[in-house]
């Protein structure tokens, strides 16, 4: 199988040149979960990074053979995919960073630079070990529900394996949602597995998830209803237009601020009637987290003098009921999707759809 495209090889050269900056800036992804009135569950997210991830949409068929990686280069845990899955992969790799499987279980990988610390590795544990970037696909390949994932995680070791494309241990954590809407967060902190229930379905980056949930207590004053006029002596103070209930909501791109906004927006919107409606509602919400290239940057520049800045490379949403993966990209805001259940789930190998393409404006004709 051809793992890296020519564009991917160019990406790796750029990534290695700028790796000293990657760990500190590539942490601006935002995730939400919506449940429609008909019970369909949609999990959606943005993907930010400071170099082109050269992502595609891939179908991973049943029976795909996997081998976990270990810190000492020995073969790790081996498995064959029980379930087919579809989603986005980076750099031509055969692993998903976001996707859904044929049972409606979905997974998102998010950057976690300041807190991730994986489990200790011993050579005798090679047979149950894998790298951090492999865990998401392991989950989609093998399980149908969040409960199954919870039961299995203690049997594997996620070790500090060097991700060769960045020459670093890749610090990530995961959000997992099944078709019932049950959602968990998987983190490795201080060398220990931490699994947390996520009743809000909201997810960002640093610090660990439990900190974000505690931080919400700092914003109990916020609400989607406008604040009534206030009296100061004989003077009545009225709010300036709509949105007075959200005065003081943090508006920057830091992870804690995005978590607060995502929690409020995803639980303040009107409920969608169907899963299909919830897909488009999710994209509307995540419009608020779109980062234009250049506005969230490091002071340093890369080897070519270019600013190193996060930007929203793509936004995606998974329909857990109908097993469809939707996406739009920085270059093309048209929403496209692939329906997993219309594909050959027993295909002979991984199938790929490009995410490339540029947006065009369509001129309207003469009015009738």
> Active-site residue numbers?
29
- Reference 286, options 94, 68, 30; nearest CA is 30
Q: Is 244 helix (H, G, I), strand (E, B) or coil?
A: helix
The backbone torsions φ and ψ at residue 321, rounded to the nearest 5 degrees and listed phi first, read: -80, -45
Could you count the other beta carbons within 10 Å of the beta carbon of residue 252? 10
Instruction: Please state, in angstroms and as integers, the Cα–Cα distance from residue 354 to each residue in 87, 91, 158, 255, following that order.
Output: 12, 12, 30, 29
Strand partners, 333: none
CA 102 to chain centre: 19
How far lies 35's CA from each of 176, 185, 308, in Å?
A: 15, 18, 36
Alpha-carbon distance values, 43 to 100, 187, 329, 343 (Å): 10, 18, 17, 21
Alpha helices for 39-134 (secondary structure H) = none
> What token pair was written down for 40?
């369909």
Using DSSP's 3-state secondary structure scheme, residue 332 falls into coil
Structural element, H or E, at residue 158: strand 157-158
Whole-angstrom Cα distance, residue 368 to residue 365? 9
Q: Give the pair of three-digit tokens for residue 265.
A: 């927006």
d(CA 86, CA 52): 21
């Amino acid at each position: 199988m051809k793992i890296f495209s020519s564009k991917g090889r160019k990406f790796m050269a750029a990534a290695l040149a700028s790796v000293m900056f990657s760990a500190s800036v590539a942490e601006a992804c935002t995730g939400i979960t919506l449940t429609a009135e008909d019970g369909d569950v949609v999990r959606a997210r943005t993907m930010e990074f400071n170099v082109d991830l050269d992502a595609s949409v891939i179908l991973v068929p049943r029976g795909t053979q996997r081998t976990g990686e270990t810190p000492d280069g020995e073969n790790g845990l081996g498995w064959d995919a029980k379930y087919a899955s579809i989603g986005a992969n980076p750099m031509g790799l055969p692993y998903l960073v976001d996707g859904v499987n044929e049972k409606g279980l979905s997974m998102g990988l998010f950057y976690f630079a300041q807190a991730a610390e994986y489990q200790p590795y011993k050579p005798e544990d090679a047979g149950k070990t894998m790298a951090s970037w492999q865990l998401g696909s392991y989950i989609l390949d093998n399980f149908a529900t969040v409960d199954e994932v919870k039961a299995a995680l203690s049997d594997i070791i996620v070790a500090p394996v060097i991700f060769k494309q960045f020459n670093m241990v890749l610090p990530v954590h995961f959000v997992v949602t099944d078709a019932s809407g049950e959602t968990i967060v998987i983190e490795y902190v201080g060398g220990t597995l931490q699994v947390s229930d996520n009743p809000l379905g909201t997810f960002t980056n640093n610090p660990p998830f439990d900190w974000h949930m505690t931080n919400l207590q700092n914003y109990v004053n916020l609400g989607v209803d406008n604040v009534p006029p206030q009296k100061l002596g004989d003077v009545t103070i009225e709010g300036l237009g709509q949105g007075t209930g959200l005065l003081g909501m943090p508006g920057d791109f830091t992870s804690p601020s995005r978590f607060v906004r995502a929690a409020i927006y995803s639980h303040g919107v009107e409920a969608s009637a169907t899963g299909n409606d919830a897909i488009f509602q999710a994209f509307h919400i995540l419009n608020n987290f779109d980062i234009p290239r250049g506005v969230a940057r490091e002071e340093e520049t890369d080897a070519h003098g270019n600013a190193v800045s996060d930007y929203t490379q793509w936004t995606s949403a998974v329909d857990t009921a109908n097993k469809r993966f939707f996406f739009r990209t920085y270059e093309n805001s048209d929403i496209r999707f692939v329906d997993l259940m219309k594909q050959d789930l027993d295909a002979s190998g991984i199938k790929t759809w490009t995410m490339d393409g540029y947006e065009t404006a369509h001129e309207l004709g003469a009015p009738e």
